[in-house]
């Protein structure tokens, strides 16, 4: 098929003619190009995504950096939040296509929206730890008769803690709740609480505030000791409509996110610098916290098996934790 010469080629030919180089337009005809050579690269999909300050935002650090540099597989419009509430409403009303949420919250939204919110990937396993300034507290049984200061009342943190205490037969443990994790640190330092519960990266911050506190009990290990599968606390939720209409965009995100998780876990120091640049956490705190943040990338059958087990345990402990019912198979978005 006859091709149209580009504007530059035409100008070049004219300049050669006017320069009296002895060539005619016919003599300077450029070779034809193939269809493949003239095909422009496909336009990147645009994804509106919400992330949380903490492990979920940390895991996306390299994705965000690549997005900034234009090398990501999609174009991401980022909403960064300190708590999941803002992201929940934005996901429901459609202003976000994806959002990082506690896994049980994604299950609750799936029920509330009649299946319009799905689980796309697990991004964080257990990140909560019991810290103490009492060297005699080393095991769960040592908590009998103690008071624990925590944040996250009505969230996964409360449900997981209550489940572990109950399964270990501890009936004389008092849990006091602060409004947020930063307040736990402040009150622990000022009021001298003996036992506190914190997730990373706040565990690292607590150690910096008061070296007298150390991790005594890893609740993820306690969960596993009770026979459960992985403690799949954090996830990426997606609007079902978006996933169905934009499967290639979803695939692009999964590719970007998996690469980001791998990069962050492989080089916490470099990730810390990126994390601070996006105001997710301070570099010094992030780089020290990442090894204990259990940042993962889990999809497909592995995700379904672990999450369904996790949600069933939460349901048994407190049905409200998953919205009153364990989600059916349509809760899981598995992009082919």
The number of beta carbons lying within 10 Å of the beta carbon of residue 98 is: 25
Spatial separation of the C-alpha atoms in residues 317 and 160, rounded to whole Å: 9
Digit-by-digit pLDDT tens for the chain (336 residues) are 433 333 333 333 333 333 333 333 333 343 444 444 444 456 899 999 999 887 878 899 999 999 999 999 999 999 998 888 889 999 999 999 999 999 999 999 999 999 999 999 999 999 899 999 999 999 999 999 999 999 988 888 999 999 999 999 999 999 999 998 999 999 999 998 999 999 988 999 999 999 999 999 999 999 989 887 899 999 999 999 999 999 999 999 999 999 999 999 999 999 999 999 998 888 998 999 999 999 999 999 999 999 999 999 999 888 999 999 999 999 999 887
Instruction: Compute φ and ψ for 50, nearest 5 degrees.
Output: -115, 130
First-residue to last-residue Cα distance in the chain? 37
Instruction: Compute φ and ψ for 232, nearest 5 degrees.
Output: -85, 80
The pTM assigned to this predicted structure is 0.81
Paired with 148 in beta bridges are 175, 195
């Amino acid at each position: 098929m006859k091709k149209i010469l580009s504007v530059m080629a035409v100008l070049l030919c004219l300049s050669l003619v006017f320069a009296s180089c002895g060539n005619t337009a016919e003599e300077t005809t450029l070779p034809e190009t193939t269809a493949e050579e003239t095909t422009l690269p496909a336009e990147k999909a645009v994804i509106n995504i919400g992330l949380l300050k903490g492990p979920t935002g940390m895991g996306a650090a390299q994705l965000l950096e690549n997005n900034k540099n234009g090398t990501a597989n999609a174009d991401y419009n980022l909403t960064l939040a300190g708590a999941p509430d803002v992201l929940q409403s934005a996901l429901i009303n459609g202003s976000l296509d994806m959002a990082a949420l506690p896994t049980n919250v994604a299950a609750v939204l799936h029920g509330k929206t009649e299946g319009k919110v799905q689980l796309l990937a697990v991004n964080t396993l257990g990140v909560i730890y019991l810290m103490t300034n009492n060297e005699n507290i080393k095991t769960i049984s040592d908590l009998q008769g103690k008071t624990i200061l925590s944040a996250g009342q009505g969230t996964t943190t409360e449900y997981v803690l209550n489940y572990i205490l109950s399964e270990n037969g501890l009936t004389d443990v008092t849990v006091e709740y602060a409004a947020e994790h930063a307040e736990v640190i402040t009150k622990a330092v000022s009021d001298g609480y003996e036992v506190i519960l914190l997730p990373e990266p706040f565990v690292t911050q607590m150690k910096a505030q008061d070296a007298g506190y150390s991790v005594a009990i890893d609740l993820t290990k306690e969960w596993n000791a009770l026979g459960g599968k992985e403690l799949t606390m954090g996830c990426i939720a997606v609007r079902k409509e978006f996933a169905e209409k934009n499967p290639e965009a979803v695939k692009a995100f999964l590719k970007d996110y998996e690469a980001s998780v791998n990069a962050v876990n492989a080089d916490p120091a470099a990730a810390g610098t990126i994390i601070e640049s996006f105001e997710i956490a301070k570099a010094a705190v992030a780089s020290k916290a990442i090894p204990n943040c259990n940042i993962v990338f889990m999809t497909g059958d592995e995700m379904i098996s672990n999450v369904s087990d996790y949600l069933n345990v939460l349901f048994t402990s407190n049905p409200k934790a998953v919205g009153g019912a364990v989600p059916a198979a349509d809760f899981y978005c598995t992009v082919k």
